[in-house]
Amino acid sequence: MLKRVLFLCTGNSCRSQMADGIINHDFAGQIKAVSAGTDPHGLNPKAVQVMAEIGIDISNNSSDHISLFDGEDFHWVISLCDDADSKCPTVFGVTVRAHFPFTDPPRATGTTEEIMTVYRQVRAQIRSQLGEFFRQQLQRN
């Protein structure tokens, strides 16, 4: 049975989109990931770019409000920023609720390359930390 995860972030533009793409790619056939925001503001083009660098296309993803998933059941609801964690409703039918507070890449400053380095670092952290989390979760079931 395909398990479902909802990734939450405030804007549903970067971290939650990267997590969505990575988990759908790395756990295809095991986990279906979707993402949403408490205040969505569009897909971040730099997130699309760094995901394409590793062969994952999120360019057709949409930036959705959390209300789109009202009444749906998820095995996991995972917030990726403190703001979304504090605003996450408890109405979802959830087996596991978790929080992974990753740095917000759009807040990075510096040269273009320094900014892109932050996006790549966060992408790598998401893949590593969430990958380990889901490998452990799937072993339990």
Number of H-type helices and E-type strands within the chain: 4, 4
Catalytically annotated residue among 5, 6, 8, 9: 9
Catalytically annotated residue among 22, 88, 126, 130: 88
Answer left, alpha or beta for residue 110, where phi above 0 means left and psi between -120 and 50 means alpha: left
DSSP secondary-structure letter at 69? G
Catalytically annotated residue among 81, 94, 118, 130: 81
Q: Report how far residue 91's alpha carbon sits from residue 93's, in angstroms, rounded to the nearest whole number.
A: 7
> How many CA atoms are closer than 13 Å to the CA of 85, on its beta-carbon side?
11
81 catalytic, yes or no?
A: yes
Residue 24: CB atoms within 10 A of its CB come to 18
* Burial bucket for residue 116 (CB in 10 Å: 0-12, 13-18, 19+): middle
Residue that is written with structure tokens 């929080």 in the block = 99
Catalytic residues: 9, 81, 88
